Chains A and B, each alone.
Chain A
């Protein structure tokens, strides 16, 4: 099976390539790249006027399977990912049961290979049951295919546990991904602490609740010399802390999510539960700092934190509403609209943050277009405007504050291992 992608603008930051180029794939592998390839192929895609980029890599999503299949399952989650241009995704372990052992990890991997349509890389838990008390069997998790460990959804509150997790995991060359939050400072808060929480009378989550923990984790990483990855950075203080840490050589990487550079706390107005997420949408000042951090390289990665929920979990009082935003299908269009179109990032820089950097952090051979590599490709027309309709999401989760937003660049094609999963914006599987 040969596939020829013609005349697209190919961007591959790893090889520093950005030019018009054809790509030929055969049996799931890229076999040739070059101008005006004249090859016989079983299928041909005319990508003229479009960007041809490595399939997006997400280092932070929730597939909800096993345990919460009413929110999402591996079949729907991976299809939603494909619709968003993702070809490789790493799912967080806060399932039920928690992915803190090789049995659950094997279930995820096997289900993904049978029912999934993109590459699924499970992330294991740092502690048993994500309880923050005893270390999970980190070595076994690694051997069962975990590409990282995280207690995401909850912080590892005890500093000694976090220190031991860093030390122990380093022998297995597996990255610790930290959800930074000091729960005692969150203190029941449900949105960012600021003017809007004051007006609505909702308990605020102060920015320091995140940044205090970022600071601790940076120090633990610096003290041990072991790399750490900070998940969903949302505050100006965190960006400044990480920027300074990087300057003095701390081996830290970090991610932010599309909602932290495109929305601020005002999105929660009128008690809009669709905008309820953890960490919460922050102030305008924080949003600007996140964009600045993306521009100067402090923030390495844009991850989705795809967090699908059932409508019943959002159609309640704000205090009771579940945290999270369904993210796969709007991530790239939001990044194009709010970062590339506004001149903050070039397309090349964006591809780096959504493909190469997350792949490098997880240690997987993805996120690049090279001869001999997997034919994981996304094709996108960044000039094509479209209106987000959350009711049309492929994901089971329709919880998104972006309904009705006019964005650019819904992926036209998603190719996973040489197979066309999305063609002309339509899911083929």
Chain B
């Protein structure tokens, strides 16, 4: 079995295609284990995983914690409140401290882009980026890609449409890098104020309306819209957003008949998607959550095995 080339999972921007394929394949075995009833693997025995969350998160954090536990690792959490972080310790000093305690993998979520990359330069452990600012959220994109593979059999050649607040979305950036590397044709659409400049240079087609972007789509990834965008003059109202950029049955009918809908969650019902779509047959939003655990199990396994291999050499 081949090994992961990446020492850290910082983003899909610089992840080799081989690694993406290996992760998705390994996630398949992990999902089998996860759904088999006996959720206890020996893969990570003797390994310690630290999750370091500088931003609130329920599902990503729980997903990593469960992934660690299912594979037998010891897992510990640090959150920004109630730790040395709130006492003004720098990221560098926090990292060094965790490093000295012997963590094998550090999972970090941080509100500032580039923080995981910064961390990776200063410690021995592998770093997994669980979302940094507006930069990347590679594990989310990997679980999206896994879900697409599962439903469509392959990624190459698919039309994938990403809708919503592209500007602030680390999920969009990771998906764009990953999906284009795997041969998908990616289009994006959203309010002009929420499309970052020169995004077309990332290899995507940019559309002004959802109606244009969604034509012939195999996959629709809808992004969460944050209410705080209203205060920055980026959007007039959620009502207006849902009217012009939300997806309902009528809009969805412009996509391919068997198009699937994904959303990184949590969903604003009636804003990004109407409830009948969220709860309908095209939606795999709930399955994404299960796949997230499988993908994170695969990553933790591959990264710790990689370091064990290195030590053996």
Contacts and interface: CB of A to CB of B under 8 A. Distances in A.
A320 B113 contact: no
Interface string B122-159: 00000000001111100000000000000000000000
Interface in B22-66: none
Interface in B182-217: 196-199, 201-202
Given A202-B134, A271-B118, A317 B198 contact: no
A320 B111 CA distance: 11
Contacts of B134: 201-203
B115 interface: yes
A317 B114 contact: yes
- A197, A201, A318: most-surrounded residue (chain B CB, <10 A): A201
A198 interface: yes
A143 interface: no
Contacts of A198: 196-199, 201-202
B17 interface: no
A319 B173 contact: no
B263 interface: no
B173 A199 contact: yes
Contact of B91 (A194, A200, A317): A317
B197 A317 contact: no
Interface string A184-212: 00010000011101111111100000000
Contacts, number: 62
A39 interface: no
A200 B10 CA distance: 12
Contacts of B110: 317
B112 interface: yes
Contact of B112 (A199, A312, A320): A320
B121 to A, nearest CB: 9
Interface in B259-308: none
Contacts of B173: 199, 201
A371 interface: no
Contact of B90 (A201, A270, A316): A316
Interface string A220-233: 00000000000000
A317 B199 contact: no
Nearest to B91: A317
A360 interface: no
A201 B199 contact: no
Given A198-B202, A199-B202, A202-B134, A317 B196 contact: no
A387 interface: no
Interface in A4-34: none
Interface residues of B, number: 25
B202 A204 contact: no
A315 interface: yes
Contacts of B112: 317-320
B198 A194 contact: yes
Contacts of A194: 197-198
Contact of A271 (B114, B197, B198): B114
Contacts of A197: 196-197
Interface string A310-332: 00100111111000000000000
A320 B114 CA distance: 11
A308 B136 CA distance: 31
Given A315-B92, A316-B90, A202 B199 contact: no
A200 B198 contact: no
Interface string A243-262: 00000000000000000000
A194 B200 CA distance: 11
Nearest to A318: B114
Contacts of B115: 317
B8 interface: no
B4 to A, nearest CB: 21
B90 to A, nearest CB: 6
B113 A319 contact: yes
B199 A271 contact: no
Contacts of A271: 113-114, 117-118
B117 A195 contact: no
B268 to A, nearest CB: 22
Interface of A: 187, 193-195, 197-204, 270-271, 312, 315-320
Given A201-B170, A316-B92, 15 more contacts: A194-B198, A195-B197, A195-B198, A200-B113, A200-B135, A201-B113, A201-B134, A201-B173, A202-B135, A270-B117, A315-B92, A317-B112, A317-B115, A318-B114, A319-B113
10 contacts: A193-B197, A195-B197, A197-B197, A200-B114, A202-B135, A315-B92, A316-B92, A317-B91, A319-B133, A320-B112
